[in-house]
């Protein structure tokens, strides 16, 4: 598959299946609202703390506790949203109708391997990023198809990790090009997100929409590449 065809087909699928972007957008909105509620409650204690040290301490503890809670809930919501998106992308590529209900049900059925894979990949990636970044990128590179394998092939967590590693290893050259493509797409969306961040309030809303578009588009590319690289007929056609 050609890079240009991959990008164009990804855009076409996204335009034809707007529902693909709903799970990530919905999770972003919920996380944003939770942050507003949490930080707002902590701020009330902090303000009253100007006259009461005890209230100030309570405000600090509330803020840290709230941030931890939002981080945990956010991670779970993001995981579920990503799982739903991958399911819907698979359906779209198969020419089936994309809907939220069936994607949600399928994600719930796969929640155990999805959660386990998320934890393992997250820990490995986190450790890699602490080791001067490069090892983290290597982990992300070899395990980039893990969640696709979990959701579309219904493999177990460790089986999916192994499948991603094996596929990347077998199509190393193509996967390097594809990974660089993902980085380039992420850079473009990142620049746009920074620009939107300069706009008060409205910029945050537009940023969430942009994030949903980015995540959905990357999910489309990942599923398409995963299927293409697995196809025996694709071994003679390098990604260029």
Three-state SS at 117? helix
Q: Are 55 and 83 in contact (CB under 8 A)?
A: no
pLDDT at 200: 85
Its pTM stands at 0.84
pLDDT at 63: 61
Rounded-to-10 torsion of CA 57, 77, 209, 40: -20
pLDDT at 68: 77
Determine the Cα–Cα distance for residues 132 and 80; give it in Å rounded to an integer. 30
pLDDT at 140: 93
Q: Where are the domains of the chain?
A: 3-109+171-232
pLDDT at 59: 55
Question: What are the pLDDT tens digits along the chain (240 aa)?
Answer: 677 888 899 999 999 999 999 999 999 899 888 887 876 655 544 545 545 565 555 555 566 666 777 788 888 999 999 999 999 999 999 989 899 999 999 999 999 999 999 999 999 998 988 887 788 899 999 999 999 999 998 899 999 999 999 999 999 999 999 999 999 999 999 999 899 888 887 888 898 899 999 999 999 999 999 999 987 655 556 666
Q: Are 87 and 154 in contact (CB under 8 A)?
A: no
pLDDT at 214: 93
For the purposes of burial, counting CB atoms within 10 Å of the CB of 142, is it exposed (0-12), middle (13-18) or buried (19 or more)? buried
pLDDT at 130: 86
Determine the Cα–Cα distance for residues 238 and 240; give it in Å rounded to an integer. 6
- Residue 227, CA atoms < 13 Å, CB-side half-sphere: 15
């Amino acid at each position: 598959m050609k890079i240009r065809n991959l990008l164009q087909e990804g855009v076409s699928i996204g335009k034809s299946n707007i529902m693909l972007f709903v799970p990530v957008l919905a999770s972003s909105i919920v996380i944003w609202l939770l942050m507003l509620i949490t930080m707002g409650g902590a701020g009330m204690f902090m303000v009253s703390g100007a006259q009461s040290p005890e209230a100030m301490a309570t405000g600090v503890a509330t803020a840290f506790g709230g941030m931890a809670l939002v981080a945990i809930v956010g991670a779970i919501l993001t995981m579920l949203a990503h799982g739903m998106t991958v399911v819907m992308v698979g359906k779209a590529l198969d020419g089936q109708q994309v809907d939220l209900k069936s994607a949600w049900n399928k994600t719930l059925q796969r929640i155990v391997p999805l959660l386990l894979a998320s934890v393992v990949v997250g820990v490995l990636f986190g450790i890699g990023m602490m080791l001067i970044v490069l090892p983290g990128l290597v982990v992300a590179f070899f395990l980039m198809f893990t969640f696709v394998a979990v959701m579309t092939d219904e493999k177990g967590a460790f089986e999916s990790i192994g499948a991603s590693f094996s596929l990347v290893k077998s199509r190393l050259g193509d996967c390097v090009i594809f990974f660089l493509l993902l980085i380039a797409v992420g850079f473009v969306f990142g620049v746009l997100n920074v620009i939107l961040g300069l706009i008060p309030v409205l910029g945050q809303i537009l940023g969430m929409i942009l994030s949903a578009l980015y995540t959905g588009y990357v999910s489309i590319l990942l599923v398409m590449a995963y299927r293409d690289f697995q196809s025996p007929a694709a071994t003679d056609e390098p990604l260029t």
